[in-house]
Amino acid sequence: MLDNLRHRLSYANKNLLLLSVFGLVVGLFAGLVIIALRLSIETIQMEYLPDGSIEGYESLPFWARFLLPVAGAFLLGWLFQSLSANSRSIGVVHTIERLDYHQGHFPLKNAIVQFIGAAVSLISGHSVGREGPSIHLGAASGSLFGQCLRLPNNAIRTLVACGVAAGIAASFNTPLAGVIFVVEVIIFEYTLASLIPIILAAVVATILCRAVFGHESIFTVPEITHVSNWDLPWIVFTGLIVGLFAVVYIRLLLRFSKTATHLPIWKRMTLAGIIVGVCALFVPEIMSMGYDTVDSAILGQYTFIALVIIALIKLLATTAGLGLGLPGGLIGPCVFLGATLGAALGQIVGLFSAEESLNISLFAIIGMGAMMGATLQAPLAALIAIFELTLSPHIIFPGLLAIIVANLTANEMLKQPSIFRSLLRIQGLDYKNSPTSQALRRIGVSSVMDKAFIVLPKGSTLNAINNALKENPKWILIDGNDETKTLMPAIDLKRYLIEHKGQTINLGEIPAERMDAAGIFLQASMQDAFEKIEQSSAEAVYIQTSAMHAEIRGIITREDIEFQQKTNI
């Protein structure tokens, strides 16, 4: 039964109902994992922060604001130093890497490291977010579920996308933004077979999140009414300034990522803890996620000078902490920076408007969207996020205008790629998102492989060959007792037998067309088969059941792959 299920899932754009059921299950698992992460963090925060608040870092004693981040960083450094380099890889960049370079297979150990690392970082007041860890944990939930069932890689890829959407939805309480984020940042494709399971996963995770944490928005947002045309030039100006600031954010983070790489990981993290601790001494608002500060910025409770100082110190603490290796997300700080910078610009606009409070709130919110859009290069996800956070249709037009200007400023004027692509590149990696790759990833090898073949050793008797040919195979796979085998058309062997009647025939020497064939597993996608052929210089692949069971199930040639490329793009 499971074998039949796996085979059905290997077809592109089919079995939507089955994938949708799996999407619901992944949404459930991912939602529970994110809830567990949030409860772990918030329960401890309420225990030791003043007044039982999860955001009460400003009320900590002067010495605690310094020692807490340093102690947390040292603990994390000790933990990460004990791990192998591969086990330290976590976050959104790790998620993209596993999708593009490892067929969507996530290690459980890395997910556990992400959970613990993010919890310690946020509890100890480091200037990071929980959205990045939620993306990794959601993706790992989908991947591990698919791996447990040994589903084909094309189906696992969809389940990873379901987990990402569920992670965003459960963390931000923005299900639609989670779906669009997956499309714009993670998988770069829009197909019915992948989108419906992703939506279902996001919905399930949101229901779970709201059942535990309530329906209220993360931020307190005043009602936004119609935006005056007189504000439009200021909105464009806000988009321009925020776009420039987003480039500074990305480049400063990259600079810190390249700094002190010669030092052991525990020294880099301890250095990051000291930098964050010094920043927190003077501006405690930057500690942890700081969503209470975002609330205050939206409501216009800070002066212009205070907002500028908070934004600049937050920029330093975040880029130093994340760049030097602290586990945590960069999307939450991105929202914080956009809100404080937008609120500061709103105060300038307020000098020319009688509706000062409206302007500050409006500009803080569009600042959030513009910063997210320019940093992530995901304009639609940013727009949907601020709409879901405000539930105001009046935010759509000014938000879209500011987001587009910020994106054009960062990407076109200053040629700055998204923060995730930039971080991948400094690791020597990049996105594999060509239309050809996308088309091949949606197809499992099980749905394409040719089963009309027989396996024969090089030296075969005439009797064994004649018995095998009774099955009317199309291909002869010649087993040379090594990984690379040789593929030969059966018609060539039949032609040879008409003229030669020897008792033993060396299949490696008779006149025939031959192709080297490399091995690949039944879980693989057509993209995996294509990469195997390219890397091994073979002309075909033979499909084995698994590493444990070496039964050969089918043949795929380069021509088969080229046909799929032409018909599915």
- Lowest-confidence range among 101-115, 263-277, 540-554? 540-554
**CA 68 to chain CA centroid, nearest Å:** 30
Do 289 and 377 belong together in one domain? yes
181 with 381: CB under 8 angstroms?
Answer: yes
In a domain, 435, yes or no: no
Element (H, E) at 521: strand 515-521
Q: Count other Cβ atoms within 10 Å, centred on residue 82.
A: 10
SS3 assignment for 424-435 = HHCCCCCCCCCH
Average pLDDT over every residue of 408-423: 93
Helices H, strands E: what count in the chain? 23, 8
Q: What residue type is assigned to position 490 of the chain?
A: A
Do 200 and 68 belong together in one domain? yes
Predicted pLDDT of residue 13: 65
In a domain, 430, yes or no: no
In the 8-state DSSP scheme, what is residue 450?
Answer: B
By the 10 Å C-beta count (0-12 exposed, 13-18 middle, 19+ buried), 243 is classed as buried
More confident residue, 435 or 564: 564
40 with 175: CB under 8 angstroms?
Answer: no
Structural domain ending residue among the three candidates 196, 218, 240 = 218
Average pLDDT over every residue of 413-424: 92
Predicted pLDDT of residue 80: 94
Please tell me the distance from the alpha carbon of residue 355 to that of residue 353, in angstroms, as a whole number.
5
Looking up tokens 């380069």, which residue turns up? 558
What pLDDT, in 10s, does the model give residues 117-132? 999 999 999 999 999 9
pTM of the predicted model, to two decimals?
0.90
Average pLDDT over every residue of 455-470: 82
In a domain, 436, yes or no: no
Instruction: Give the CA radius of gyration of the chain.
Output: 28
More confident residue, 438 or 457: 457
What pLDDT, in 10s, does the model give residues 177-201? 999 999 988 887 777 667 899 999 9
Do 420 and 459 belong together in one domain? no
Do 45 and 108 belong together in one domain? yes
CA triplet 344, 172, 65: central angle to 5 degrees? 60
Determine the structural domain holding residue 273 and report its residue range.
229-425
Average pLDDT of the chain is 88
Residue 476 pLDDT greater than 60, yes or no: yes
In a domain, 371, yes or no: yes
Do 200 and 236 belong together in one domain? no
In a domain, 79, yes or no: yes
- Bridge partners of 478, per DSSP, are 456, 486
In CATH, what number is assigned to the domain containing residue 554? 3.10.580.10
548 with 521: CB under 8 angstroms?
Answer: no
Total domain count, the chain: 3
Do 345 and 449 belong together in one domain? no
Residues 6+ apart with CB under 8 A from 511: 492, 496
Please tell me the distance from the alpha carbon of residue 196 to that of residue 60, in angstroms, as a whole number.
46
Residue 500 pLDDT greater than 80, yes or no: no
Write down the H helix ranges in 391-516: 396-407, 419-425, 435-441, 462-469, 490-499
Residue 357 pLDDT greater than 60, yes or no: no
In a domain, 437, yes or no: no
Do 208 and 333 belong together in one domain? no
Q: Encoding tokens for residue 546?
A: 């698994």
Do 118 and 236 belong together in one domain? no
In a domain, 224, yes or no: no
Q: Encoding tokens for residue 536?
A: 């091994």
Please tell me the distance from the alpha carbon of residue 264 to that of residue 253, in angstroms, as a whole number.
19
- Main-chain phi, psi angles of 450, to 5 degrees: -90, 120
Do 394 and 535 belong together in one domain? no
Q: What residue type is assigned to position 54 of the chain?
A: I
Q: Count other Cβ atoms within 10 Å, centred on residue 496.
A: 15
Do 248 and 336 belong together in one domain? yes
Residue 304 pLDDT greater than 90, yes or no: yes
Do 180 and 259 belong together in one domain? no
Total residue length of the chain: 569
Please tell me the distance from the alpha carbon of residue 447 to that of residue 201, in angstroms, as a whole number.
26
Residue 33 pLDDT greater than 60, yes or no: yes
More confident residue, 428 or 275: 275
Q: Is the dihedral of CA 69, 71, 72, 73 positive or negative?
A: positive
Do 284 and 146 belong together in one domain? no
Q: Count other Cβ atoms within 10 Å, centred on residue 462.
A: 14
φ/ψ bin of 214: left (φ > 0), alpha (ψ from -120 to 50), beta (otherwise):
left
In a domain, 223, yes or no: no
Structural domain ending residue among the three candidates 425, 460, 486 = 425
In CATH, what number is assigned to the domain containing residue 166? 1.10.3080.10
What pLDDT, in 10s, does the model give residues 516-544? 888 888 888 888 888 888 888 888 999 98
- Lowest-confidence range among 59-68, 290-299, 408-417, 558-567? 558-567
Structural domain ending residue among the three candidates 218, 240, 257 = 218
